[in-house]
Structure 1
Amino acid sequence: MPPPDTLSPWLAERLGVELVGSTPVGGGCIHSAWCLHLATGSRLFAKTNTPSCLPLLEAEAEGLLALAAAAGDEGPQSPVPLAHGLAGGSAVLVLSWLDLESSRSAVDIQQWRRLGAALAHLHRSSLLRPCMAADRPGEAFGWPTDNFIGSAPQRNGWDEDWGRFFVQRRLAPQLEHLARGGNPLRHAEWLLERSGEWLAEHRPDPCLVHGDLWSGNAAITTGGQGAIFDPAVYRGDREVDLAMARLFGGFPAAFFAGYAAAWPLPPGHRFRSDLYNFYHLLNHANLFGGSYLGQCQGRIDTLLSRAAQEGN
């Protein structure tokens, strides 16, 4: 996407600000990202894409508002959605600017510990707090609207049974998409059946979860506060966020220790972590193919084998 300097009239109308320049920001793989320089000397963050991608940006804005509602003053910081829509031939999302530490080696390990504790606070505080209109805290798993995991659709709706929700709204659509694309996985139906059985006795609380918490979607600000962004929110088992945080690495042990000290995870979370991350591996296989297909097949084989050895 071209630089968003053509957004000046739209920004002036929507936010009452004067744009004097923009510079690209790296790190994203779906949208173009920009630092917007304003006449006041302050900065905003913007994402732009083709008009057809506006629903992705709208879902992101909704997710950020939900996270902020759950986080309160003690949870992680998130950028504030300021405006979104179509402008200058592009879909646009404008957010408040966060000054993030550019090098993780410069971050005090205790700041990661505090981010883990802040995430536990967000999860716990969301249990009785509505995070948006039509939310159902304490009642069911899901979300009022479908949204996205990366650039892929994420099916939501509501279900009072967590295992059924995870199987039918998370694993099954991804496996079906792979099969339609000519990449069916061995024992997929068996895995779906067993997954429901494995989760049948697990009774998690329907917490608001970030939903896509890999290390690229979390950081420490220059002020020392933990921040999370680029969410794929819904109400689910809080363990899905901790599982995703382990999938691709990048989170130090202090992050998990901080979470555990604030709200320990129940027994069996390590096995469930591998099951929950199967969803993200499937999504990567559908989006990128390649080695992720083999990883997905390997994950099915490992889960079924481990369950057989443990008598599950």
Structure 2
Amino acid sequence: MPLPDSFAAWLSERLGVELVGRAPVGGGSIHSAWRLDLADGRRLFAKTNGASSLPILEAEAEGLRALAEAADEAGPRVPVPLACGVAGASAVLVLPWLDLSRGRSAADEPQWRRLGAALAALHRHSLTRPCVAEDRVGAAFGWPRDNVIGSFPQRNGWQADWGRFFVQRRLAPQLEHLARSGHPLRRASLLLEHTGLWLGRHRPEPCLVHGDLWSGNAAISSDGQGVIFDPAVHRADREVDLAMARLFGGFPEAFFEGYQDAWPLSSGHRARRELYNLYHLLNHANLFGGSYVGQSQACLDALVERGEGAEWA
């Protein structure tokens, strides 16, 4: 979605800045992304899409604000939204410009280790501090409103039981949509039944989580700070962030070591990792089809077959 001719005026009205240049940047699969050059020499970052996509960008903005509040001084850097709205026929989200590096050399390990520790600090701090989007911090899992995971709807609301939440608001909607699209997975009902039992033995705290923490949504800035962005926030078992960080690779082991040193994960987290990542495999199957359908079925089969033998709690 190109920036409309009226965008410069919209930006001036919202932020009091003068736009002198714009250039597309890569990295986005859902929205168009832009570097904005300002008359005072600064740069901003913008995402655009059709005006009907405004709720998606508003949900992202809300998630970024929530993470930034929970991060406090010890947490990772989170770009705080500067403006979000409709300019002409485009929905627009404006963020600070960050110079990012995705270095994975041995020299970058200390920064990734610090990012892991910072994520642990964010998770822990979120337990005692409500975000602007919430009325209070309680013992419930979810979020005040639905948002998206990628471009797929993510159901939220509140649920006191983590296992029930994960079954009803995460796995079941993905499995149902996949079945309606002509790709029903074998033993899906059995998996949902087992998941409630497996997670019923686990008693996590309702941490604020990023929710979509693959390596494309985290980086090290040019000044050495860890940054996270593009969230799908909700309150959940903190293990879901660590699980997804391993799903597609890209995070160095130092990241996980930094987290574990700061706040060790509870027993059984390795067994739960595949269960939590099934949600993201199902989401990719619904969004992209292809081999992700087979990967989802293979993961589901392995979980069901592991059954009672796994150390879930």
Sort the TM-score into its range (normalised by shorter chain).
over 0.9
Given residue 88 of structure 1, which amino acid in structure 2 is its aligned partner?
G
TM-score, structure 2 normalization: 0.97
Given residue 198 of structure 1, which amino acid in structure 2 is its aligned partner?
W
Which residue does the alignment assign to 1:139? Answer: 139
CA distance in 2 between counterparts of 1:311 and 1:149 reads: 28
Q: How far is 1:5 from its partner? A: 5.3
Which residue does the alignment assign to 1:270? Answer: 270
Which residue does the alignment assign to 1:299? Answer: 299
Q: Secondary structure at the match of 1:186?
A: coil
Which residue does the alignment assign to 1:279? Answer: 279
The 5 Å alignment of 1:68-217 reads 68-101=68-101, 103-105=103-105, 108-217=108-217
Structure 1 gap segments, 5+ residues each: none
CA distance in 1 between counterparts of 2:140 and 2:113 reads: 30
Kept after mapping to 1: 8 A contact 2:120/2:259: yes
Which residue does the alignment assign to 1:288? Answer: 288
Q: Secondary structure at the match of 1:205?
A: coil
Percent of residue pairs bearing the same amino acid type: 72
Q: How far is 1:251 from its partner? A: 0.2
Query: Structure 1 308/206 Cα, relative in aligned 2: closer, same or farther at 3 Å?
Result: closer
Kept after mapping to 1: 8 A contact 2:4/2:87: no
Q: How far is 1:132 from its partner? A: 1.9
More off after superposition, 98-107 vs 145-154: 98-107
Q: How far is 1:25 from its partner? A: 1.0
CA distance in 2 between counterparts of 1:177 and 1:48 reads: 27
CA distance in 1 between counterparts of 2:73 and 2:310 reads: 43
Residues 214-236 of structure 1, C-alpha deviation per residue, up to 9 Å, x if partnerless?
A: 00000000110000000000000
Query: Structure 1 112/155 Cα, relative in aligned 2: closer, same or farther at 3 Å?
Result: same
Q: How far is 1:139 from its partner? A: 1.9
Residues 131-160 of structure 1, C-alpha deviation per residue, up to 9 Å, x if partnerless?
A: 123344232000001000000110000011
Which residue does the alignment assign to 2:226? Answer: 226
TM-score, structure 1 normalization: 0.97
Structure 2 gap segments, 5+ residues each: none
CA distance in 2 between counterparts of 1:23 and 1:103 reads: 24
CA distance in 1 between counterparts of 2:244 and 2:299 reads: 15
CA distance in 1 between counterparts of 2:66 and 2:5 reads: 30
Q: Secondary structure at the match of 1:48?
A: strand
Kept after mapping to 2: 8 A contact 1:3/1:24: no
Kept after mapping to 1: 8 A contact 2:100/2:220: yes
Q: Secondary structure at the match of 2:232?
A: coil
Given residue 240 of structure 1, which amino acid in structure 2 is its aligned partner?
V
CA distance in 1 between counterparts of 2:134 and 2:100 reads: 33
CA distance in 1 between counterparts of 2:307 and 2:196 reads: 13
Which residue does the alignment assign to 1:38? Answer: 38
Question: RMSD between aligned alpha carbons?
Answer: 1.4
CA distance in 1 between counterparts of 2:136 and 2:182 reads: 38
Query: Structure 1 222/311 Cα, relative in aligned 2: closer, same or farther at 3 Å?
Result: closer
Kept after mapping to 1: 8 A contact 2:271/2:310: no
Which residue does the alignment assign to 1:21? Answer: 21
Q: Secondary structure at the match of 1:158?
A: strand
Given residue 97 of structure 2, which amino acid in structure 1 is its aligned partner?
W
Kept after mapping to 2: 8 A contact 1:135/1:143: no
Q: How far is 1:195 from its partner? A: 0.4
Which residue does the alignment assign to 1:10? Answer: 10
Kept after mapping to 1: 8 A contact 2:146/2:155: yes
Q: How far is 1:306 from its partner? A: 1.6
Q: How many residues align?
A: 312
Given residue 270 of structure 2, which amino acid in structure 1 is its aligned partner?
R
More off after superposition, 181-190 vs 133-142: 133-142
Q: Secondary structure at the match of 1:199?
A: helix
Q: Secondary structure at the match of 2:137?
A: coil
CA distance in 2 between counterparts of 1:244 and 1:137 reads: 24
Q: Secondary structure at the match of 1:276?
A: helix
